[in-house]
């Protein structure tokens, strides 16, 4: 046999042997544990006797493709080859300088930092209104409130981004949010300058393990910073270093191997008992987003309501058997610790919570990539509270409003109607009109009209607005539906900041009595 044939046979045997390794390892039960998370359901084990014989090959092929040994390792090597070997970013992550990884999937962090798609003015206004309304509601119940924002890795470490990041750099979304919140009266803590002072002395985000979250070092800094800030309302929140420790932990990041990262370990977690069943309409949380109520057997007073996202609730903290997800060391400072996702917040839920326990302080935290509680301002009472708190130029339609500055058309006001504690507008036909005094728009270019109205039928309230020499027209109007009965109304217009705005309110399109009632108690207390 020639040397060439021998070498060909050797090559064939080696090739076949290598190709059969995954199948052999799988069949003898020595397949390693997969290391890459899958984004789709994998093929289930073949049900041979439920299928025709001619379909067996295709069924077997699908199953082996999904379950052969080393499959996930090979997928990881493929991604690593493209990411590191060719410096070609894939859609999942972006590789920066010094092999630093930045998340660019699910909730992207690179494009928002570059300002590719800036947040709209409406989004920013709603964000501020939602948080201002939330603070106003808690303050109306005598409870202090603190809002905390957290920067993504891109914002904290822009020097590690790829070289091409400098080619298109606009205002980041985080800077947009900070500019809006920091210029308001909201009790606000921006974690960026705090973390920036510490980033040269310790890693606050990992190289490539779980880069969509900060690590245990950053959690420690956040605990100390928030604790010091809220200790002005109660010394019980003064940071206690003995409540936790930072533990170096070997963590596996799928295709990239292991990395030693800092984890936060609570001391004396056995003091905490899960009493989530006390929450109204809630079962024990099935995941970290569910409301979690912990009672501390070692504390006799104080409560903390901590609203956050995954940055405080599921990362770089050792899991406790009595919890789903993670908790802050702040839980050890109080008798009752409630952890909820901020998207779970509603005024109905908040009222129910206050019937169970009264928090000493409420802390709400959100991370840059989430863009905050964007939909909270959909609640008209939150919007009303927010505008009252922010002192937005506005008219409040209420029983004691000054009628000397108001003109009516096709209607007249009656303070002596049969409706108790109400100012009644009697509409003569389908087109009642109230001409309100002009208002000067604030720095956001906003003015508002709000109130609590009892309508005689299903209709819509319209606010027409005009500037300078403009007349009222259907091109400049905002509308809110009204149902028969009581309605909270909040109408606002956006114009040039500092401009005077003429206002005309059409309360409805049906004749009858429109009763202007007092605002809910929380709004009345906020208005002072």
Q: What is the pLDDT of residue 508?
A: 94
pLDDT in tens, 316-369: 887 777 676 788 999 999 999 999 999 889 999 999 999 988 999 999 999 999
DSSP helix/strand/coil, 250: strand
DSSP helix/strand/coil, 453: strand
Distances (CA, A) of 161 to 99, 100, 157, 380, 395: 10, 8, 7, 41, 48
Neighbouring CB atoms inside 10 A of 414's CB total 15
167, β-bridge pairs = none
CA distance 38 to 304: 37
For the chain, domain boundaries: 101-378, 392-527
Neighbouring CB atoms inside 10 A of 289's CB total 18
Q: What is the pLDDT of residue 84?
A: 52
Neighbouring CB atoms inside 10 A of 170's CB total 13
pLDDT tens, residue order, the chain (528 aa) = 677 777 777 777 777 777 666 666 666 665 555 544 454 566 666 666 676 777 667 766 777 666 666 665 565 555 555 555 545 455 567 878 888 888 887 778 888 898 888 999 999 999 999 999 999 999 999 999 999 999 999 999 999 988 888 777 788 999 999 999 999 999 999 999 999 999 999 999 998 888 889 999 999 999 999 999 999 999 999 999 999 999 998 876 555 567 889 999 998 888 888 888 888 765 555 666 788 899 998 888 899 999 999 888 878 887 777 676 788 999 999 999 999 999 889 999 999 999 988 999 999 999 999 888 888 999 999 999 999 999 999 999 999 999 999 999 999 998 776 667 899 999 999 999 999 999 999 999 999 999 999 999 999 999 999 998 899 998 999 999 999 999 999 999 999 999 999 999 999 999 999 999 999 988 878 776
Contact between 430 and 455 (Cβ < 8 Å): no
CA distance 15 to 212: 40
Query: How many residues can be counted in the chain?
Result: 528
Architecture of domain 392-527: Sandwich (2.60)
Which pTM does this prediction carry? 0.81
DSSP helix/strand/coil, 168: coil
Q: What is the pLDDT of residue 35?
A: 46
CA distance 525 to 523: 5
Orientation of helix 121-140 relative to helix 347-354, angle to 10°: 20
CA distance 318 to 9: 54
């Amino acid at each position: 046999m020639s040397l060439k044939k021998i070498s060909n046979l050797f090559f064939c045997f080696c090739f076949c042997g290598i190709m059969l390794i995954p199948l052999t390892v799988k069949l003898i039960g020595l397949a390693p544990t997969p290391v890459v998370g899958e984004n789709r359901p994998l093929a289930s084990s073949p049900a041979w006797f439920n299928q025709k014989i001619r379909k067996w090959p295709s069924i077997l092929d699908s199953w082996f493709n999904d379950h052969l040994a080393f499959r996930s390792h090979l997928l990881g090597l493929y991604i690593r080859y493209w990411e590191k070997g060719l410096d070609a970013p894939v859609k999942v992550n972006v590789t920066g300088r010094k092999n630093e990884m930045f998340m660019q999937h699910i909730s992207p962090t690179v494009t928002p930092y570059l300002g590719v798609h800036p947040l709209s003015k409406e989004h920013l206004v709603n964000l501020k209104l939602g948080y201002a309304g939330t603070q106003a509601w808690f303050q109306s119940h005598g409870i202090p409130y603190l809002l905390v924002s957290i920067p993504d890795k891109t914002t904290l470490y822009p020097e590690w981004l790829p070289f091409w990041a400098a080619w298109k750099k606009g205002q980041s979304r985080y800077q947009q949010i900070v500019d809006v919140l920091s210029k308001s009266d909201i009790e606000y803590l921006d974690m960026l300058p705090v973390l920036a002072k510490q980033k040269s002395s310790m890693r606050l985000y990992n190289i490539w393990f779980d880069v969509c979250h900060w690590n245990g070092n950053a959690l420690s800094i956040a605990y100390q910073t928030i604790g010091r800030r809220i200790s002005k309302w109660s010394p019980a929140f003064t940071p206690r270093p003995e409540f936790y420790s930072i533990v170096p932990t070997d963590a596996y990041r799928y295709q990239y191997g292991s990395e030693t990262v800092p984890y936060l370990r609570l001391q004396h977690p056995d003091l905490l008992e899960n009493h989530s069943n006390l929450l109204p309409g809630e079962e024990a949380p099935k995941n970290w987003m569910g409301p979690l109520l912990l009672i501390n057997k070692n504390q006799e007073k104080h409560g903390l309501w901590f609203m956050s996202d995954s940055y405080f609730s599921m990362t770089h903290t050792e899991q406790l058997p009595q919890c789903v997800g993670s908790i802050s060391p702040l839980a050890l400072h109080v008798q009752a610790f409630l952890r909820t996702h901020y998207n779970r917040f509603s005024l109905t839920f908040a009222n129910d919570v206050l019937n169970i326990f009264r928090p000493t302080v409420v802390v709400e935290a959100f991370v840059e990539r989430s863009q905050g509680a964007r939909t909270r301002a959909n609640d008209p009472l939150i919007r009303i509270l927010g505008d009252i708190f922010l002192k937005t130029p506005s008219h409040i339609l209420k029983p004691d409003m000054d009628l000397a500055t108001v003109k009516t058309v096709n209607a007249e006001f009656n303070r002596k109607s049969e409706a108790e504690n109400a100012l009644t507008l009697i509409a003569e036909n389908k087109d009642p009109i109230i001409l309100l005094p002009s208002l000067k728009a604030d720095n956001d270019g906003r003015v508002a009209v709000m109130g609590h109205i009892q309508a005689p039928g299903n209709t819509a309230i319209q606010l027409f607005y005009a500037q300078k020499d403009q007349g009222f027209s259907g091109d400049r109007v905002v509308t809110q539906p009204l149902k028969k009965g009581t309605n909270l109304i909040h109408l606002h217009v956006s114009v040039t900041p500092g401009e005077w705005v003429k206002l005309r309110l059409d309360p409805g399109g049906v004749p009858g009595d429109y009763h202007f009632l007092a605002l809910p108690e929380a709004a009345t207390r906020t208005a002072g």
